[in-house]
Amino acid sequence: MRGRGPGGRGTCPPAPTGTAYGPGTPERPDSRHPATLLLIRLTHRIRSFDTRRPWVWDTALTGFWLTAALIDISSGGWRRIPGNNDTVPLWLVVAMSAGFAAPLLIRRSRPLGALLLMLPFLLLNAWTGAQLQAALLQMVVFYGIALRLPLRTLALVLGVLSVPLAIGAVRHPVGSWDQTIVPPLYALLMVALLGIAVRSRKEYTASLVERARRLEVERDQQARLATAAERTRIAREMHDIIGHNLSVITGLADGGRYAAAASPERAAQALDAIADTSRGALTELRRVLGVLREDSPGPHSGSGGGDRAPQPALTDLDRLIEGVRAAGLPVRTTVHGPGAPLPAGQQLTVYRIVQEALTNALKHTPPGTTAAVELAHTPGVLTVTVTDTGPPSTTRPQSGGRGLTGMRERAALYDGTLDSGPLPGGGWRVRLRLPVPPPVPVPVPVRDKGSA
Strand partners, 147: none
Q: Which of 175, 203, 220 is the last residue of a domain?
A: 220
Beta-carbon-side half-sphere exposure of residue 172 (alpha carbons within 13 Å): 17
The overall longest dimension of the chain from CA atoms, in Å, is 135
User: Do 58 and 178 sit in the same domain of this protein?
Assistant: yes
User: Do 61 and 191 sit in the same domain of this protein?
Assistant: yes
Q: Which domain holds residue 431?
A: 319-438
H-state helical runs in 263-343: 264-289, 317-326
Count up the domains in the chain and report the number. Answer: 2
User: Do 215 and 331 sit in the same domain of this protein?
Assistant: no
User: Do 40 and 172 sit in the same domain of this protein?
Assistant: yes
Residue 75 domain-assigned? yes
pLDDT given for residue 145 in this prediction: 92
Residues with Cβ within 8 Å of 106's Cβ and at least 6 positions away in sequence, in order, are: 58, 113, 114
Residue 275 domain-assigned? no
Residue 264 domain-assigned? no
Residue 297 domain-assigned? no
User: Do 99 and 208 sit in the same domain of this protein?
Assistant: yes
Q: What is the pLDDT along the chain (452 residues), one digit of tens a residue?
A: 344 444 444 444 444 444 444 444 444 556 677 888 888 888 888 888 888 888 888 888 889 888 888 888 877 766 667 667 778 888 888 899 899 999 999 988 899 999 999 999 999 988 888 888 888 899 999 999 999 999 999 999 999 999 998 888 888 777 777 777 888 899 999 999 999 999 999 999 889 989 989 988 888 888 888 878 777 777 777 766 676 667 677 766 766 666 666 666 666 666 767 777 677 767 767 766 665 554 444 433 444 444 444 578 888 888 888 888 887 789 999 998 877 778 888 888 898 889 888 888 887 788 788 999 999 988 889 999 999 987 765 455 555 556 777 788 888 888 899 998 888 878 889 999 999 877 655 555 555 554 44
Ramachandran region of residue 27, left (φ > 0), alpha (ψ -120 to 50) or beta? beta
Q: What phi and psi values does residue 333 have, to the nearest 5 degrees?
A: -115, 140
Q: What is the CATH number of the domain that holds 397?
A: 3.30.565.10
pLDDT given for residue 193 in this prediction: 94
Residue 281 domain-assigned? no
Q: Is 383 helix (H, G, I), strand (E, B) or coil?
A: strand
User: Do 197 and 328 sit in the same domain of this protein?
Assistant: no
pLDDT given for residue 132 in this prediction: 86
pLDDT given for residue 19 in this prediction: 41
Number of C-beta neighbours around residue 390 at 10 A: 23
Under a CB-based contact definition with an 8 Å cutoff, are residues 252 and 327 in contact? Answer: yes
Residue 413 domain-assigned? yes
Ramachandran region of residue 415, left (φ > 0), alpha (ψ -120 to 50) or beta? left
User: Do 195 and 333 sit in the same domain of this protein?
Assistant: no
Q: β-strand 417-422 against 371-378: which pairing, if any?
A: unpaired
User: Do 210 and 89 sit in the same domain of this protein?
Assistant: yes
Q: Which of 170, 196, 220 is the last residue of a domain?
A: 220
How far apart are the C-alpha atoms of 369 and 353, rounded to whole Å?
A: 19
pLDDT given for residue 83 in this prediction: 63
pLDDT given for residue 45 in this prediction: 86
User: Do 188 and 70 sit in the same domain of this protein?
Assistant: yes
**Which string of DSSP letters, residue by residue, matches 40-94?**
HHHHHHHHHHHHH-HHHHHHHHHHHHHHHHHHHHHTTGGGGSTT--TTS-HHHHH
Residue 265 domain-assigned? no
How far apart are the C-alpha atoms of 299 and 297, rounded to whole Å?
A: 7
Exposure string for 128-166, b = 16+ CB within 10 A, e = fewer:
bbbbbbbbebbbbbbbbbbbbbeeeebeebbeebeebbe
Distances (CA, A) of 108 to 25, 44, 139, 149, 198: 41, 19, 13, 11, 15
User: Do 71 and 216 sit in the same domain of this protein?
Assistant: yes
Distances (CA, A) of 167 to 117, 119, 136, 173, 249: 18, 13, 16, 10, 104
Under a CB-based contact definition with an 8 Å cutoff, are residues 111 and 149 in contact? Answer: yes
Q: Is 308 helix (H, G, I), strand (E, B) or coil?
A: helix
Q: Which of 220, 242, 260 is the last residue of a domain?
A: 220
* pTM to 2 decimal places: 0.48
Q: β-strand 381-388 against 417-422: which pairing, if any?
A: unpaired
Residue 251 domain-assigned? no
Which run of H or of E encompasses 382? strand 381-388
User: Do 214 and 345 sit in the same domain of this protein?
Assistant: no
